[in-house]
Structure 1
Amino acid sequence: MKPETRRSAETALLPGARTGRDPARSIKRGPSRLPPGVVAATQRERLLDGLVLTVAQHGYQRATVSDICRAAGVTRPVFYELFTGKEDAFLAAHRYGTGVVIRRMAAAFAAAPDWCAGIRESLRAMLGLLAGVPAFATMAVIELDAVGPAGRRERDHLLTRFRAFFAEVPELPAGVTAQAMVDAVVGGVYCTLQRCIGADRTAELPDLLPTLSLFCLAPFLGPAEAARRLELDPMP
C-alpha cells in the first residue's frame, strides 16, 4: 500500500462519527468564497453523517428525508441535488463507510508479518472502528436489511470483498473449495457481528477478537495450529 493511501485510510472518518451540524463544517449564508465543488462535498458529508445518525436512532423505515436534512443542517432541495432519495443516500453512506473499513483493514493486514497475524490485525481494525462509531455499525449491519433487495445486493457485494484477505489460505482437502470455505467463514463473522450489534453490545466488539481470529484460521490450519499461530493459551 502506498504511503499516501495508508494515510488516507488512517484519517478517513466513518459516516456518523461527527454530527451533521458540526460547526467546523458550517457554510455561511450569502455569497460563498468556497468553490462549488467544495460546498457540495461538504454538504454531502454532512448528509451522510445525518443519515447514519437518524437511521441508527429511528430505523430506516421511520427515518424521513426531512429528519436527515434536519440532522445534517442541509435543505431538502440540496439533498435532492445530491441524491435521488433516501435509499440512494443510505447506499452511498454504506458504500463510503464500508470502504473506509476495508481500507483500514487492508492497511493493518499489509503491515502484519504473516497471513495469520494479518487476519488478526485486520479483524482488530474492523472491530475497533465499528465499536468506535456505533451509529454506523447499527445503520450498516442492522438496518441494511430494511432497505430491501438493494440492501441485500449491497451486503452480498461487500462480503465478496473480504475474500481478498484469504488469498493465502493453505490447500484444502479434495472436494472442499477455498472460495466456498472462505465465504462460509466470512458469513459466520458477519452473523456474529450482527448478533452483537443487534443486542446493543457494539462496545463489546473488540472483545470478540480472539474468538473471531481463531474462527477465521481454524478451518484452514486446524484449531490447535491456529491457536498456536495466534499465541492463544490452550483451554485448561
Structure 2
Amino acid sequence: MTSVRGAEEELVLPGARTGREPERSLRPGPRRMTPEEVASRQRERLLDGVARTVAANGYTGARISDICRAAGVTRPVFYELFSGKEDAVLAAFRGGTETVLRAMQRAYEETGGAVDWPGAVRGGLGVLLGLLARNPAFATMVAEIESVGPAGRRARAELLASFRLFFADAPAGPPGVPRGELVDTVVGAVHAALLRAVDEGRFGEDRITEGAEPAPGEGLGALLDVLVHVVVAPFGWPGGTAPSIPE
C-alpha cells in the first residue's frame, strides 16, 4: 500500500489550500513567470476560493466578490478565466473529481483489480473516503453541485456514470437482473450515503493524517465496511457464493 499512500498524499484538491498563502502570491515588479504560468496560478487560487466559498455559503450564497477575496484575485482576472460563477464551480467540481477518480483507479488496480475484486473495491473506496475526509471544503462543494441547476445535475450524472469502470471485474450478478441498472443503483446508494455523511459534517479529518484509508469508526471511516458491503453484496460469485469482504 505504500505506493497508493504516497500517490494520494501528492494530490491537491480545490479548497485544500487558501488563495492567500504567501508563497502563492504574485508580487509586483519584474516576473520570471510566463503569462501562461501566471494565469495557471491565478486559476488554481480561484478554484480554491470557489471550493471554500461554496462550502461556507452554499452555491446560492456564494458571491463572485467573496470568491475573489478568498483567492486574493481581482474580479477582472476572474472574468478573464471564467465566464461566471457557474463556470467556475463546474471547473472546480470536474477538476477535483477527475483527480479523485484517478487516485481511486490507481488504488483499485494496486489492491486487487480483476484478481481480487472485493479487495480492489475496498482499496478504491478507502482512498475516496480518505480524500473527502481530508478535504471537507471540496467534499461540501461537491454536495452542492445540484444547486448549480441543469448543468450541475449533468455534471453529477457524468460523475456517477464514471464509477461504472470499477464494476468491469465484478461477477455477472443475479440472473435476470439487468447489470447496468444494478450497477447504477449500487453507485447511487453509495453516493447517497456519502452525501448524508457530508451534510452531517462527519469528516473526522483530524484523525486522518496518513494512509489510504480513514480510521475505522471515525468520521467517514465508519462508512468503509458498509460501503464495501453495499457494492459487493449484490454480485454473487459463480456458484452462488457471496464474495467475502476483506478485513
TM-score by length of 1: 0.90
Q: Secondary structure at the match of 1:84?
A: coil
Could you tell me how far 1:171 is from its partner in structure 2?
A: 1.8
Counterpart code for 1:213? V
Q: Which runs of 5 or more structure 2 residues have no equivalent in the other structure?
A: 205-218
- State the alpha-carbon separation in 2 of the partners of residues 229 and 213 from structure 1: 7
Instruction: Provide the C-alpha distance between the structure 2 equivalents of 1:137 and 1:75, rounded to a whole number of angstroms.
Output: 26
**Cα separation, 1, equivalents of 2:85 and 2:21:** 21
Query: How many residue pairs get matched?
Result: 225
Give, in angstroms, the shift of residue 172 of structure 1. 2.8
What does the per-residue CA deviation read over 1:45-89, in whole Å, with 9 as the maximum and x for residues that have no partner?
000001100111111101111100000000101000000000000
Deviation of residue 177 (structure 1)? 1.7
In the TM superposition, 1:57-206 aligns within 5 A as 57-113=56-112, 114-141=116-143, 143-203=144-204, 204-206=219-221
Question: Does the CA-based 8 Å contact 2:228-2:245 persist in structure 1?
Answer: no
Q: How far apart are the structure 2 equivalents of 1:135 and 1:194?
A: 13
**Bigger proportion of residues as helix:** 1
Alpha-carbon RMSD across the aligned residues, in angstroms, is 1.9
Structure 1: 5+ residue stretches without partners: 232-236
The answer to whether the Cα contact below 8 Å between 1:137 and 1:202 also exists between their aligned partners in 2 is no
Q: CA deviation at 1:23?
A: 1.3
Aligned partner (choices 201, 225, 233) of residue 218 of structure 1:
233
Q: 1:80 to 1:7 in 2, by over 3 A?
A: farther
**Dislocated runs of 4+, deviation >4 Å:** 6-10
Deviation at 1:159, TM superposition (A): 0.3
2:210 aligned residue? none
Deviation at 1:224, TM superposition (A): 7.3
Distance 2:66 2:245 in 1: 49
Question: TM-score if structure 2 supplies the norm length?
Answer: 0.86
Aligned amino acid, residue 59 of structure 1 = G
Instruction: Tell me the SS of whatever aligns to 1:221.
Output: coil
Compare 94-103 and 30-39 and name the one that shifted more. 30-39
Report sequence identity in percent: 52
